[in-house]
Structure formats: structure tokens, C-alpha cells
Amino acid sequence: MRRTDTLAGVTEGALSKSCGPARSPVVWIRPGHAGYIGPELGVDLHSTSVAVLSIGLDGPFVLETATHGEILTRSAYAPARAVHRVNTLDKPILLLWSHASGIEGQMATTEGPYGFDHLRERELVEQCWLPDADPGRIMALAGAGLPAKIDPRIERVAAAIRQHPDQAFRAEPIAANLGLSTSHFLRLFVQQYGTTFRRYQQWARVIHALRDVAAGHDLTRSATDAGFATPSHFSETFHRMFGMSATAALRSGFRFDLETTPAP
């Protein structure tokens, strides 16, 4: 069992300080993953649609979970749909969301569905403090990316979801078209992408909406174009996924970093 101390017992001097420049918070979006470097934003308990790696850039943080209490750590992995929140007392953090990632295998210890102590934690912290921190390098260090063996049929379905998030994809006709039972198709999807077919569609829609917002569109139009039935549907999905409202997140002052090439 991991220790469950809280930050209240950790003095400022006890926190491991990382040398680095002050930086403006940033959110980047890339095919297959998204990231955030900046202060922790005081989120509620939530469950992301894809896996997320959290790393304290200025010392340990408390991972609050719905099933395993509070855990003090420097790095934590939460699989898709695992309820949690990170508390760093406003200190900077790396959040890396990734579908179909190998991050879980890079965690040294586990507690229930959660992983702790990333094997390349120090390198990730150092990379994040660079003034020109490279999202691709961060992803590579974290171990994010598709598994070595992928089913091309499932990848084609996922690619279609990413390219057309506004469409409603149904498992039954897709499975039939692939010559699979619906249950087998859904199992294959979870095995390859680490999240359910339905939650993957939610993730694709939220990412599409955020790209539109970053391009200068208003939130209502962005949500509608991404396939959400109403702005409130988008707001509810965003809050459930990230633990705060989209409006509050966008007002927090981070800048967007978007890849210039479209997602595959």
C-alpha cells in the first residue's frame, strides 16, 4: 500500500525544486494525444475519456481517487474512466492525455487501476522546464503512442471517428461490416485504444471543439460543429472529462499550441 500523506505535511523546503524559467501555461493538441503545462487549476473529481499521466513539475502532489483515497506522489497514471483529481497547491504540473498509449507500462508501481513513479520522471520534468519544451519529445519520453501490434480494422474506425467527430457512429453496423460480433468489436476497441467506443467518440468531439476554439470560433459554434447536440451537452461532457467547465478552463490564461498538419 502506498503512503497516503497529504501536502499539508510537506513543507516548502521539502519540495523538490526544478530549475527552469517561468512559463505561460500551454495546451497542445496533437494526433493521438494532448498536453498541458501550467498551474493546477483546482478541478473537481473527474474521469477522462482517455488515459492521463500527471507529473508534478515542482514537487509531489496529492492524487485524490474515488476508490483508493489520497496518495502522495510525483507522477501518476490514471486509465480512462478512472475517477480522480490532482492537487498540487497551485504548483505547475504536466498533464498528458493519450489514447492507445504505452504509458501504463512505464509506471514503476501500481495501486488498483492507478500507476505511480514513471520510469523517466526526471527526464520528463527537465523537458517540461525547457523554454522550448517539445510535445513530441514529451510524448516519446512518456511512452505514449499506438501499441506495437494494432488491428488495422480498428484503426480505420478510429481514424474515421477523428476525421468526422460530428457523425454518430454505431457499433452494431460497424461490427457487422467488419464481419465481427458487436461484443467482439467493442472488446477489440478497448484493447487497442484503452477506452470504450463511446468515450472515444466523446474525446474526438471535445478535441475537435477545442481546435475550433483555438482557431477563433466561439464556443457554441465549436461545440455544434463537433457534433454536440447542444452547448450544455458539450459543457456537461467537458466538466465530466476534465473536472471544470470549459468556460473556466478557457479563461485560465493558457495558450494553444496546435500542430499545423491535420490529424490522420
| Structural domain boundaries, residue 159 | 152-246
CA dist 113 and 48 (Å) reads: 14
Same domain for 116 and 178, yes or no, is no
From 142, 163, 178, give the residue that closes a domain: 142
Q: How many domains does the chain have?
A: 2
pLDDT exceeds 60 at position 20: no
Q: Which residues contact 127 (CB under 8 A, 6 or more apart)?
A: 133, 134, 137, 138, 141
Are 36 and 243 in contact, with CB atoms under 8 Å apart?
Answer: no
- For residue 94, being part of any structural domain is answered with yes
pTM score, two decimals?
0.88
Residue 202 CA, chain-centre distance (Å), reads 13
pLDDT digits (tens, 9 = 90+) for 221-237: 999 999 999 989 999 99
**45-to-42, 79, 169, 171 alpha-carbon distances in Å:** 10, 14, 28, 29
pLDDT exceeds 50 at position 13: no
Task: Note the pLDDT of residue 261.
Answer: 45
What percent of the chain has pLDDT above 90?
A: 75
Same domain for 99 and 202, yes or no, is no
- For residue 31, being part of any structural domain is answered with yes
Task: Note the pLDDT of residue 93.
Answer: 96
DSSP H/E element including 115: strand 114-118
- For residue 41, being part of any structural domain is answered with yes
CA dist 12 and 58 (Å) reads: 10
Same domain for 235 and 166, yes or no, is yes
Same domain for 186 and 115, yes or no, is no
Same domain for 45 and 127, yes or no, is yes
For residue 104, give the C-alpha cell.
Answer: 501504463
* Strands, E assignment, 156-262: 255-258
Same domain for 52 and 159, yes or no, is no
CA dist 204 and 148 (Å) reads: 22
Q: Which residues contact 21 (CB under 8 A, 6 or more apart)?
A: 129, 131
- For residue 215, being part of any structural domain is answered with yes
171-178 vs 152-163: helix crossing angle, rounded to 10: 140
Q: Which residue has the higher pLDDT, 15 or 214?
A: 214
